[in-house]
Structure 1
């Protein structure tokens, strides 16, 4: 499945994911962990273990820097 992932304040990624991928897999594909970012679908956060059901998502980084 193809998903477009826009990281807020960063790059947009075109991802090719397995059919059973979760939103946690989306974060991993763009190099982020579930502790530092959330996936938004239609402006609302979704759980990391939910199967991907959207073809376009936004990722909001909660933690940046150190």
Structure 2
């Protein structure tokens, strides 16, 4: 399954995921954990254990690293 993932403030990624992928797998594919970010579908957060059902998602980073 192909999914376009926009990491807000971090670019767009074209992902190729397994047919049974979850939204947590989307986060893994862009190098983020469920503690760092949330996946949004149509501007609403979705649980990381829900199977991917959208062709396009957004990822919102919840925390920023310090210097």
TM class, shorter-length: over 0.9
Structure 1 gaps, min length 5? none
For residues 64 and 31 of structure 2, the distance between their equivalents in structure 1, rounded to whole angstroms, comes to 13
TM-score (norm 1): 0.98
Give the deviation of 1:11 after TM superposition. Answer: 1.1
The alignment yields a C-alpha RMSD, in angstroms, of 0.5
Consecutive aligned runs of 4 or more in structure 1 exceeding 4 Å deviation? none
2:28 paired residue number = 28
For residues 2 and 63 of structure 2, the distance between their equivalents in structure 1, rounded to whole angstroms, comes to 27
TM-score (norm 2): 0.97
